[in-house]
Amino acid sequence: MPQGLPRRIKLAFIAQALIASALLVLLLLVAGVFVREGMLGWIAHREAESFWTMQATGAGDGLVRGPSLNSYFVPASGVVPRELSSTPALLPGMNRVEFNRYYYVEERPLGRFVLSIYTGLIDSTILWTMLGALLIAMGTSTVMAWLTYRMTKRMVTPVSWLANVVTRWDPRAPDTSAIRPRNLPPYSGSEVRQLTGALTGLADRVADFVRRERDFTRDASHELRTPLTVIRVATDLMLADPGASDRQLRSLARVQRAGRDMEAVIDAFLILAREADVEPLSEEFDVREVVAHEVARVQPLLAGRPIELEVIDEGAPKLVAPPHVLAVMIGNLLGNAVRFTDSGRIELHLRPERIEVRDTGIGMAPEALIKAFDPFYRADPEREEGRGMGLSIVRRLGERFGWPVSLDSQPGKGTTAVIRFA
């Protein structure tokens, strides 16, 4: 689940504090090194100047003895003090012989001045000073980060509250009363108020759109069915006329089949126009009966053509759904198979979990197969009589009822369409 904005802000501040602390530690370490080197140089030069001054004035030997500093004088005659006899060769300037032991050497005509410096006290002083400065800086940084986070969270809280309210909206009837200005949480800025105003306007427009869609669905259902009912009743009366010729009866039967097909297509469009949670009228039906009806409907299209149509029943199921929806889907797939098969065989395999419509027609190239379900797409406009909506309707109906549709095709070998029952 994606992290909320307050949590991401908190993590950002924590990361910022950790990075700042690491940089501060690095900065203090570098500063400590420079301070240590500077102090050693200052002490060495001060002691050396003090020694040579006292030697020049005769005020004393000028040598120091202590736990951290010890100075020695090697006269020009070359007599080395016993304390320096085991010390490695020292060059003029600062010499480090151990991590915390330094020797400073300065040569003049009178001899050599050697200052032994033990840096333990200096290192301890610098270390504790750095730790104190680090704790003060980190404490100050933590307090500032916490205060900034609290202020930021206070400003972000109205946005999170607004997001939670909007996620609970019913898309069909958004309740905008909760985001009215009087109900906003404290510290809601002008941006939040502008956003709530925009959401309120959007919710009102969505509600109007849903209401108009419902009205259209109801009115279109009535207006489209009325003329089809008139056509069906009129053809029934004409079919009952004993004086009608065989040619007239065949024509009237075609008119009736076309009317029933149109009713099924209208029902399919109205179902697609309804909201997903508004269930259409369903009933239990046998899939083989729907398939038999669609096969009978396309039989006249096969008259005189070298095409064999066969239904292979391997356990057709019973479904609870609007039967005309499956009729529209199978009718479109079967009609495409008949239209694009010049000779050969069309098979309908009925299985408990799916229906397969196979043909040995012209097939489709891979680029055409990718676009086959796109509305108004026709791979061969000169050959196709329709408007390119059949497969799009089939897929949308399949998605609406949980019956996914897939196509597999190879140019020159035919096409297989599969309707799977979830």
Digit-coded pLDDT (tens) for 250-287: 888 778 777 776 776 777 777 776 655 555 667 899 99
**Number of H helices and number of E strands within the chain?**
8, 11
Residue-wise pLDDT tens digits, 395-416: 988 988 899 999 999 998 999 9
Burial of 408 (0-12, 13-18, 19+ CB in 10 A): middle
CATH architecture entry for 171-278 = Orthogonal Bundle (1.10)
Question: What pLDDT, on a 0 to 100 scale, did the predictor assign at position 91?
Answer: 84
Question: What pLDDT, on a 0 to 100 scale, did the predictor assign at position 2?
Answer: 44
Question: What pLDDT, on a 0 to 100 scale, did the predictor assign at position 381?
Answer: 57
Question: What pLDDT, on a 0 to 100 scale, did the predictor assign at position 1?
Answer: 35
* Distant-in-sequence, close-in-space partners of 308: CB < 8 Å, separation ≥ 6: 344, 345, 346
Q: What angle do CA 225, 228, 233 make, to 5 degrees?
A: 120
Question: Which residue ranges in the chain fall short of pLDDT 50?
Answer: 1-3, 384
Question: What pLDDT, on a 0 to 100 scale, did the predictor assign at position 357?
Answer: 95
Q: Domain extents for the chain?
A: 5-78+87-142, 171-278, 283-420
The gap between the terminal CA atoms of the chain, to the nearest Å, is 27
Provide CATH code, domain 283-420.
Answer: 3.30.565.10
Question: What pLDDT, on a 0 to 100 scale, did the predictor assign at position 107?
Answer: 87
- Cα distances from 64 to residues 61, 117, 131, 260, in angstroms, run 9, 11, 31, 119
Q: Residue 380, Cβ neighbours under 10 Å: how many? A: 11
How far does CA 386 lie from the centroid of its chain?
A: 39
CA atoms of 376 and 389, how far apart (whole Å): 5
Q: Between the CA atoms of 46, 51, 52 and 57, what dihedral angle is there, to the nearest 10 degrees?
A: 120
